[in-house]
Amino acid sequence: MAAAQPSVVVLEVQRDVDPDKKFSWPMYVTGVRARRRCATVVLVVAPDAGVAAWAAESIDLGLGVGSIKPLVLGPAVVPEITDPAVAEKETELAVLSAVAHGNGPNGLIVLQAALAALGRLDQEHAMVYFQLIWDGLREPMQQALEAVVMERQIEGEAKLPPFVQRLIDRGMREGELKGMREGKLEGMREGKLEGMREGELKGKKETLLRLLARAGIVLTEDESARIQACSDVATLDRWIENVLGAKTATEVLS
């Protein structure tokens, strides 16, 4: 039996249509092929279906010398993995799922499943996979993921893998979760569960208001009062998740 021939896959995450890539991708193929002396292909991971269709088009090299066609993974061909148990067994597929669907309606669930799986890998591999996922996320989803990760760290729900620590540290340094931290610590010192609950509510309200401000959503006085008057953690959690993709406060507070 003949020995398997070596090959190289050049991986690139593409969030938007970029005409310049039609010139750089062929260069990747020829450059890597010349250096490694082996078959080479460009694999484009495109979270957006339209971008995936654009990336899959053949690239005509001109003058009748041929064309190059990248391999493309888009939302249509990558399953949504939301179950952490499945993500743990199929870690690489969970990473691709997070890249392909991380900006979608179930993005946070998909991302959290992938992060849980990456936490069981060595730091070197986890960092590579995490960077691939992070690069594929648009800013609103990056901010939403930061809020979830920081909140879980404060609540001590689980030990987070090292590759997400930078998200935590940045938020801590900026004091973004000061209200939640102080409320929880005060409640613990006094031995009062009510103090912990009030601190948690305050922290979630501050998180919600920050995300609304970042999304450019302006609140009326009544809407602001409704948020401040809310005493239900589950409702605040739902509103925080609603910010992603929302354009009005009505959509968020539905």
| Cα separation, 234 vs 242, whole angstroms | 12
Q: Is the pLDDT of residue 185 over 50?
A: no
| Cα separation, 52 vs 17, whole angstroms | 9
At residue 69, φ and ψ (nearest 5 deg) are -125, 110
Q: What's 248's DSSP letter?
A: S
CA 227 to chain centre: 26
Q: For 93-106, what is each residue's pLDDT tens digit?
A: 999 999 989 988 88
Give the DSSP letter string of 5-53: PPEEEEEEE--S--TTHHHHHHHHHHHHHHHHTSEEEEEEE-SSHHHHH
The overall pTM is greater than 0.75: no
Q: For 37-86, what is each residue's pLDDT tens digit?
A: 999 999 998 888 899 999 999 999 999 888 999 999 888 888 999 999 99
pLDDT, greater one: 159 or 52: 52
| Cα separation, 15 vs 139, whole angstroms | 11
| Cα separation, 57 vs 114, whole angstroms | 29
At residue 113, φ and ψ (nearest 5 deg) are -65, -45
Confidence category of residue 175, pLDDT binned at 50, 70, 90: very low
